[in-house]
Amino acid sequence: MKNNQSIKWLAAIMLLAVVTSCKKQNLPATASSGGQDKLKNNGPSSAYWQKAQETHNFVYGNILTSYNSYRVNTTTTTNTAYEWYNSSQIYADAAMIAAGDAAYASYMNNAFAWIHHMWDSTSPVGGYYAAANIDGTGAAGDKYTDDNALAGVVYLDAYNVTTGTTQTNYLNSAKACANWLMNSGQWDNTYGGGFWWSTVKESKPTQTNGLALQLFLRLYQITGQTFYRDWAVSVKNWLLNNMYDSGTGLYIWKIDGAGSGTKHYEKFTYDNAIMIEAFLLYAQIMSDNSFTTKAQNLGISMNTTLWNSTYHVYIFNTADGRINPAWCVWGSQAMIKLYQRDGNTAWLDYAQQNIDYMNTYLRNSTNHGYYHFCNFNGSNIETRFEGVDQAWMQRTQIMLSNYR
C-alpha cells in the first residue's frame, strides 16, 4: 500500500481495565453478551448511516472525476489516481450496498470499469500499477503486492453484492489479482518465503502478506480450488513464524530487503487489524477455531498497545502517535468483525469510540470531508482531503450503522 506520508468516560476506563486484565489471562475481552445487539439493523436511523452518506457526498463533489476515477486529493495531487485509493472507494460502496442502499451499485461498477486502465495488459500475468492519470492514461512503473491483494479482497466484497455477469466479472478480477501474486515472483525464498511489498523488493511487510492471506482464503471458499488453500497455508505459516512478536502479542511492521534481513518492530494499527480479519477468515474457512482465539487475543493486544486510552483512538503506529482516518480506522473494521464473530460488545465499543474520535477531531463540519492527520489532541491538523481517508470513513461508518 503506497504510503504518501513518509510513513464514555468512566465506562470506557472500566472497559479498558477489563481488557488489560483479560490480556494477562490470555482470554478474550469480556462485556455484555451482545446477542440481541447483533440483531439490530439501524440503517437510516443511525447517525453513522447519515455520516457515511455525507462522506460519500463529499467524495462525489470533490474526489470523483468525470472519468469515474477518484483523484488522490483535492489540492496537491488532483490529476493522479492511486490504485489502492480507488479500490478502497469500491470497498466503501460495496459496504453501502451490503447495508441496503442499492443506489451505490452504479458508483461501484463504474469505478471497477475504470480501474482496469491500471492493469498491465502487456504482461502475461498482468498486475495493477500503483498510479495513473485520472483519465486512465499513464499507468506504469512499480506494482505493489498489497495494492493487488487489497483489490482482490475488494472485488470479492463486490462479488457478494452483485449477480450475473457483473458478479462473474468481479470474481474473475479477484482471481487475476491472485494469479499475479502467485506468478509474478513477489513470493520467493528470501527469509523463508513471504511476499515482497513491491516489485522493487525492498521489504516484506505484515500487511502485504495479511491481505494476500485474506484473498487466498476467500477464493478457496468460493471456488474450492485447493491451490488457493495451499497458498493460504504457506502465507499463514510464514506470518506466524516471522512476523509475530510474542512480547506484545502483535505483528511487526516488516523485514528489510537487500539481504539485510533487519526486522522492524514498530507495530501498526492497520497491520494488526488486517491480521485479525485474516485469522477470522482462517477460522471460518479452514474450520480451525483456534484462529478465532488468535484473532481475539490479537484484538486484546491491539487494545493494550495501540489504543490511546485518553483520547479513545487507535494510534497510527508505535513510533508515530498521529491519527489518520484510513490507517487508524482500519482498527474499527477489525473490531466490528470480531463482534460479528463472538457477539462481544466490547469490540463494538472500541470501534465506535475510534470512529467518534475521527468525527470530533478530523471531520470538517461544513463540507463533511476528513482531514489527513492530526495529533492526539486534535492539534497540528494536516488539512489535505485524501480520497482514501474518505473511503475508509464511509466504509467503517456504514458497517457500524448496522449495530449502533
Pairing of β 254-256 and β 250-251: unpaired
Residue 379: Cβ within 10 Å count: 8
pLDDT digits (tens, 9 = 90+) for 327-381: 999 999 999 999 999 999 999 999 999 999 999 999 999 999 999 999 999 999 9
- Percent of the chain past pLDDT 70, that is, above it, reads 90
Domain that holds residue 321: 9-400
Q: Does the pLDDT of residue 27 top 80, yes or no?
A: no
Tell me the C-alpha to C-alpha distance, in Å, between residue 50 and each of 9, 43, 44, 393.
25, 9, 7, 12
What is the mean predicted confidence (pLDDT) over 78-89? 98
230 located within any domain: yes
Q: Which three cell numbers stand for residue 285?
A: 474457512
pLDDT digits (tens, 9 = 90+) for 121-171: 999 999 999 999 999 999 999 999 999 999 999 999 999 999 999 999 999
1 located within any domain: no
User: Using 50, 70 and 90 to split pLDDT, how confident is the model at 174?
Assistant: very high
3-state helix, strand, coil in the chain (%, to 5): 55, 10, 35
The pLDDT of residue 182 is: 98
Angle between the N-to-C axes of helices 325-342 and 269-285, in degrees from 0 to 180, rounded to the nearest 10: 30
Give the ranges where 35-144 is alpha helix by DSSP (H): 47-62, 83-98, 105-115
Lowest mean pLDDT among 9-13, 238-242, 254-258, 318-322: 9-13
106 located within any domain: yes
CATH number at residue 39: 1.50.10.20
Angular region, 56: left φ>0, alpha ψ -120 to 50, beta rest: alpha
4 located within any domain: no
Q: In what order do the strands lie in the sheet with 203-205?
A: 203-205, 254-256, 263-264
3 located within any domain: no
Q: Does the pLDDT of residue 11 top 50, yes or no?
A: no
Q: How much is the CA Rg of the chain, to the nearest whole Å?
A: 20
Q: Does the pLDDT of residue 4 top 50, yes or no?
A: no
245 located within any domain: yes
- How many domains in the chain? 1
2 located within any domain: no
Q: Does the pLDDT of residue 93 top 50, yes or no?
A: yes
User: Using 50, 70 and 90 to split pLDDT, how confident is the model at 38?
Assistant: low
- Percent of the chain past pLDDT 90, that is, above it, reads 88
What is the mean predicted confidence (pLDDT) over 308-318? 98
301 located within any domain: yes
The pLDDT of residue 1 is: 73
Distance CA 330, CA 28 (A): 20
